[in-house]
Amino acid sequence: MPRIARGAVPSPNIWNTPQIYELENRAADPDGVADAAMRALRPWDGATVLDIGCGTGYHLPGYAADASRVIGVEPHHDLAALARRRCAGLAGVEVHAATAQDLPLADTSVDVAVARWAYFFGPGCEPGLRELSRVLRRGGTAFVIDLDATRGSFGRWFSRTVPTYSASKVEAFWDRHGWQRQPLDLRMTFERRADLEAVLRIEFAPEVAEQAIAETPGLELPYPNVLRWRHY
């Protein structure tokens, strides 16, 4: 049994199939739209960057190219170990096995926090938001990137897989907490058809995944997201 940090919210995809999720990370947003949108709002050159729910550390080297310090936090100990291995040769990068609601960081120690498809899905994530308020420095910015369930085929497949998800309640939650939003028109592009199909099968319920595969010709599909942010 893998070791999991206490209080972690289970991930239905990367926790069970990290090798396939690696393919998804490689495929998602090849144009760098999400990073460009964040940088336009708050650059991280020379900053301390926190990646919450960093998984196997896929995005940590990219942050480390410009940031002075990069901190990955991941509640799944095995994934955190993979993230450490990935970043072993990079100066200024550290990875902790911990949760978003109990960050092992000092007060006002972070300039930029990013949660990409991890933990901050709306109602219920208040403990994590309190931790963001604690660790962000004045002038810092927190970003949350998530699927936009209101748009496109991807949003429709997600809504069928998670029928209890309420996009309107999620929007009301973020508005209430003072966060802003920006739609992101991302895409996924794959090298092999088998990889695309494998990713769809870890993202959606079995019957929905098979429909998504049937509706998706070729090696690419639109991936509508939303960027949420708050300046501190």
The predicted-structure confidence for 76-117, as pLDDT tens digits, reads as follows 999 999 999 999 999 999 999 999 999 999 999 999 999 999
What residues of the chain score a pLDDT lower than 70? none
Q: What is the pLDDT of residue 205?
A: 98
* Residue 98 and residue 75 in contact, taking contact as beta carbons nearer than 8 Å: yes
Cβ atoms within 10 A of the Cβ of 152, count?
Answer: 16
Dist CA 107 CA 137 (whole Å) = 8
Q: What is the pLDDT of residue 5?
A: 96
Q: What is the pLDDT of residue 175?
A: 97
DSSP assignment string, 139-182: EEEEEEEEE-TTSHHHHHHHHHH-TT--HHHHHHHHHHTT-EEE
Q: What is the pLDDT of residue 214?
A: 98
Of 225, 7, 1, 3, the residue nearest 116 (C-alpha): 225
Beta strand 136-147 pairing with 180-189: unpaired
Q: What is the pLDDT of residue 2?
A: 83
Q: What is the pLDDT of residue 142?
A: 98
Dist CA 32 CA 158 (whole Å) = 23
Question: Does the model's pTM come out above 0.95?
Answer: yes
* Residue 141 and residue 229 in contact, taking contact as beta carbons nearer than 8 Å: yes
Cα-to-chain-centroid distance, residue 123: 17
